Amino acid sequence: MIPRNPFSSLVKIRSVREQRARADLGRANLVQQDALDRLEKMKRQFSAGPGIPPSLNAVQLRALQLTGVTEHERLVAAADALEEATRHAGDRAARWRVSAGELDAAERLDQRKKEQAAHSAAKATERAMDDLLVTIRHRRRSR
User: Where residue 141 falls among pLDDT bands split at 50, 70, 90?
Assistant: confident
Q: Are 32 and 92 in contact (CB under 8 A)?
A: no
CATH of the domain at 56: 1.10.287
In this prediction, residue 143 has a pLDDT band, given cuts at 50, 70 and 90, of: confident
Cβ(52)–Cβ(64) below 8 Å? yes
> Would you say residue 66 lies in a domain?
yes
| Rounded percentage of the chain residues whose pLDDT exceeds 70 | 97
SS3 56: coil
Q: What is the pLDDT of residue 82?
A: 94
pLDDT score recorded for residue 98: 95
Instruction: Provide the number of structural domains found in the chain.
Output: 1
Instruction: Note whether residue 26 is domain-resident.
Output: yes
**CA separation, residue 33 to residues 8, 68, 97 (Å):** 37, 26, 20
Domain that holds residue 105: 6-111
Q: Dump pLDDT digits (tens) for 8-64.
A: 888 899 999 999 999 999 999 999 999 999 999 988 887 777 677 778 788 877 887
Residue 1 scores a pLDDT above 80:
no
User: Does residue 58 lie in a domain region?
Assistant: yes
Is residue 124 in a domain?
A: no
Computed over every residue of the chain, the mean pLDDT equals: 89
Is residue 129 in some structural domain?
no
Q: Specify if 80 maps to a domain.
A: yes
Q: Note whether residue 127 is domain-resident.
A: no
